[in-house]
Chain A
Amino acid sequence: MRFVIIGNGAAGNAAAETIRKYDENAEIIMFSSEAFPEYSACALPDYISGWIPRSHLFLKDYDDYKHKQIKIEWGQSVTEIDTVNKQVITEKGMTKYDKLIIASGSRAFIPPINGVNLSGNFVIKSVSDVDRIIEHEPSQVVVVGSGNIGVEAAEALEIRGCKVTLIELLGRVMPKAFDAKASALLYKILTNNNIRVLTDEKVLEVKGLKQVEELVTNRRNIPCDTVIWTVGVRQNVELAQKSGISIGKLGGIKVNSRMETSQQDIYACGDCIESIDLLTGQPALSLLWPNAKRQAQVAALNCLGKPTEYEGSVNIIVEEIYDTLCVSIGFTEEMLSGRDFQVIENGNERFYYRIVISNGLIVGWQSIGISNGIGTILALIKTRTPIAEVKRVWQNSDLVAKVPWYLTAGNFLFHEFSSI
């Protein structure tokens, strides 16, 4: 049986490893558009900051593929999928497949405004991006977009010694991860560390003769030599679309709960797909490393003839910003507007957290400065355990002794905090 995998990222590799784990003899061929062995894109900011050396980014070396008997074609983009003859086509030729897994990922997006082609504009998606940034020797940096990558990039560059401005279009930092209070705490951490944070501000253009010299927003001009665009990604679905595979409304490849696309024997996983949200059952984009790996696992198992259902994705964002752990899971209050919801929140000098509840179920968590016990809340979210049930067990010391980790969850939910 020959398995062909398009993509050498988190999903592609997880799929390959799952197949190899269950089938020693399967033929696995991977196509990687980049020439690098698998690396962790999530760790790129840590390389920028100097926390880790470049070599540490790579999770495999070239030999690892050989050892696992994975044939990998470097630097080859698949240009066409011939679904009739079951083969993929690159500039080098054609490769037949019995099962095909598309894990083509996503690419960073730069808005089409003036000046983005000047030297000094960057994204952070691949190792080459970061190599270029470092070669550029950034000094006065503007990071556009305060999602998780933007915030991490801002911190990394500040630690590196740059003067950093972080610009966010919406009214607060990390608006999709945090509601106002948590976001305000994050804002304070960033500004306490000399990052200038501008919210409610729109970038109009980038100016400069041959390279970036200035960034213009609707409020001011910011002199700079580097612009990092972290405003979002676009999914790499053109290949699939061209081949007749259905694309969903949100722009990702449509898959069912077994990661099967609309084409027989073709599966998809990772950033490029439209996933199902575990809590709502609705289509959702879930562009996160752990979800990509799990989806790939499911796809691979189904490829191998072991039917497995994907439980759906939960958005989990974990950031360590200046030694403070900032976590966001599931839905924010803002995402639920229009629906009935309830918030439990507590905060003191050390930490802040809030739990977002809808219809008696926990649907979201945000915390700044908490490290222990978040997984207990995540387990309740994923199992869709009603709060009332948690309370019944938590209140009963004999019952909770049998599931002691839920004591922590119960304390977050039900403990009364007094204030001075």
Chain B
Amino acid sequence: MYGYAGKILDVNLSTGQILKKGISPQLAKQYLGGIGFNARILYDEIPVGIDPLSEENVLVFGVGTLVGSPFPTASRTEASAKSPMTELYGTSNSGAFFGTQLKGAGYDALVIKGRALNPVYLYIEDDKVEIRDAGALWGKDSWETINILKSHHYGAEIALIGPAGENLVRFASIENGYHDGWGRTGLGAVMGSKLLKAIVVRGSKGIRPKDPQALLKTVKEGQDLIKSASSYKVFTEYGTLNASIPYGRFGALSAHNFTKGTLPDWSEKAGRQVIDKYSDRHIACQSCIIACGHWVEIKEGKYKGLKVKDLEITPTVSFAATVGLNTEATIKATELCQKYGVDIVSAGGVIGFAIELFKKGIITREDVGYELDWGDDDAAFNLLEDIIHVKGIGKILAQGTKRAAEYFTGADKSAIHVKGLEIPMIDPRGRWSTWTLGMLTNIRGGDHLRCRNPVENLRYNENKHDYTKERFGFKKPMYDKLDMPEDLKAKIIDLENDIVDIAQMSKWAEDLINLYNAVGVCIRPPVMEKVGPTILAQAYSDFTGIKVSAADLMLAAERIWNLIKLFNLREGEEVKDITFPRRFYEEAVNGKVLDEDKIKNVLKKYYEARGWDADTSRPKSETLARLGLDT
């Protein structure tokens, strides 16, 4: 096989059985790779209604198709399982170098089933696949574990859980090396429930492109495209933190558990200048030409000596806004989350939730053991430790805000989640856009990473059209260059009136991001703006030799999204769950609330755009037929 490694590795920890299955051209063309393979496998192999922390759950790592090629940003691997947080499809995506090694070992996907008797780690080196004892590693934090495993298995990449995953904290993450991870939806708890501490993988097999010369040309084209993006330069310098100030200005931050739109000291602690102060080096993932990661060092003060990859917007907002910590404590929070192996967004959300309850008197000093307050880093980190070790009130909080709220009367008002997954970063009351609709329509719950207008404009914050439209904000050249079929473009973007149809753009954006997660490229704004299905189809064809068109790829992405929706429906997702927390409709921030009816209305438009039933959100039979999902 060209482009693909050609095999799916299937490991059953209960029986010890190790299978290597081939990949059919049918599977490749219909589901591409990455999240596509994951979705197909999970839909086929997870029985309905199981407990996500039981041995019947299946965890899959799907490497993006283009990983192994120098196509810019082709580094990503998707991990999926049934989520302990939402009890629906749980999934997360991570870059760095894990996918490179897994694919180089000969596997496009790794499927993990069952449960081991004792803590184990999986060792993969090309054809050699071994389940090894991890008793000596169990209990160690992720950095220490990596040091040991990397010393022993020099040159390998490691996916692993920290103490949070071991203790079945529901929002535990799977860490990807020291500083990256599959953070959201609690996949770390799934891995912990299987007593799987780590996956160590090292690959030395070559991957052959069908047409190396054509691929190199496409790579150059891709590099030039991304470099021409309007956001390229600022992104290479300041990374994701570029969005932090605009969102502060919009009053659309998650400050103090979504009770305030912003904080008075926001620009001091989250503006670009903090990058200049704490970082002098960029970090790249495999094949990336942006290198948005920052290598951060704190040279003095309370957290002197701390070195970590950080100062991205998500951790910054999760801790500096939601919890109210200062910059250095925010950096420390990132380090702790990486070491403990816990989702930064959900951790921030849970801690913010707890502080709010404390301030309201719903939980007391007796319940916690100490005082909690906004911005108190010692308290926040004590609480985080209690959560990781499921001690005291940590035992309750470790279940996520949705479940924890059930323990305390009146707490549900403070639980800010959609479908059980904490909402990150943006307060839709402050700014409504395709991005915020995406938090509702996201297959994984309250999340900001599966839907984003590729030509989003951060300069404007208007909400004139009942949530159904947002401002385009660009001139014709941007419209012309956007890689979207012309007829669809005309429907979605009204250039004359400078507006974008949010419902239809959401569908496009979700499918596009799904495509990214299938072929393995990164969703950073410079890429989203410029890399569309046309060049991806070219890269895919050059790499695998399987001829596809841009429309084929978008159809595959739509197919994958719909399959995951079917999974969710099968697991009991209902339309009534697809709603924001009551707070957004009932409590004003800067005088603004969301209009529930108008939200319902734009959701209906979204379902129509998707070819789903407007009342039940179930994909219509003609849609499933069109996508080949009707069997």
Contacts and interface: CB of A to CB of B under 8 A. Distances in A.
Given A420-B136, A420-B137, A350 B151 contact: no
Contact of A419 (B144, B152, B153, B155): B152
Nearest to A397: B281
A192 interface: no
B53 to A, nearest CB: 27
Nearest to A349: B152
Contacts of A419: 148, 151-152
A350 B147 contact: no
Name the residue among B147, B148, B152 with the largest chain A CB count within 10 angstroms.
B152
A346 B144 CA distance: 18
B136 A348 contact: no
B566 to A, nearest CB: 44
Looking at chain A's contact residues, the main secondary structure is loop
A375 B152 CA distance: 23
A350 B149 CA distance: 12
Contact of B148 (A346, A351, A418): A418
A348 B136 CA distance: 16
Contacts of B152: 348-349, 419-420
B283 to A, nearest CB: 14
A351 B152 CA distance: 9
A230 B154 CA distance: 36
Contacts of B147: 418
A350 B148 contact: no
B148 A349 contact: no
Contacts of A418: 144, 147-148, 151
Nearest to A369: B154
Interface in B116-168: 136-137, 144, 147-148, 151-155
B137 A350 contact: no
A418 B147 CA distance: 6
A417 B150 CA distance: 9
Interface string A408-420: 0000000001111
Range of interface residues on chain A? Answer: under 10
A351 B151 contact: no
A419 B151 CA distance: 7
A349 B153 contact: yes
B154 A348 contact: yes
A419 B152 CA distance: 7
A279 to B, nearest CB: 29
B153 A420 contact: no
A44 B182 CA distance: 54
Contacts of B137: 420
Interface in A384-420: 417-420
Nearest to A348: B152
B274 to A, nearest CB: 21
Interface in A293-348: 346, 348
Contacts of A348: 151-154
A169 B151 CA distance: 36
Interface string A76-116: 00000000000000000000000000000000000000000
A350 B136 contact: no
B545 to A, nearest CB: 32
Interface string A345-368: 010111100000000000000000
B154 A351 contact: yes
Contacts of A351: 154
Contacts of A350: 153-155
Interface string A191-202: 000000000000
A357 B148 CA distance: 26
A353 to B, nearest CB: 11
A350 B152 CA distance: 8
Contacts of B153: 348-350
A325 to B, nearest CB: 14
B155 A417 contact: no
A245 B147 CA distance: 60
A401 to B, nearest CB: 11
Contacts of A349: 152-153
Nearest to B146: A418
B533 to A, nearest CB: 40
Contacts of B151: 346, 348, 417-419
B202 to A, nearest CB: 9
Name the residue among A351, A417, A420 with the largest chain B CB count within 10 angstroms.
A420
6 contacts: A348-B151, A418-B148, A418-B151, A419-B152, A420-B136, A420-B148
A-B pairs with the 5 shortest C-beta distances?
Answer: A417-B151, A348-B152, A418-B148, A418-B147, A418-B151
Given A346-B151, A348-B151, A420-B137, 20 more contacts: A348-B152, A348-B153, A348-B154, A349-B152, A349-B153, A350-B153, A350-B154, A350-B155, A351-B154, A417-B151, A418-B144, A418-B147, A418-B148, A418-B151, A419-B148, A419-B151, A419-B152, A420-B136, A420-B148, A420-B152
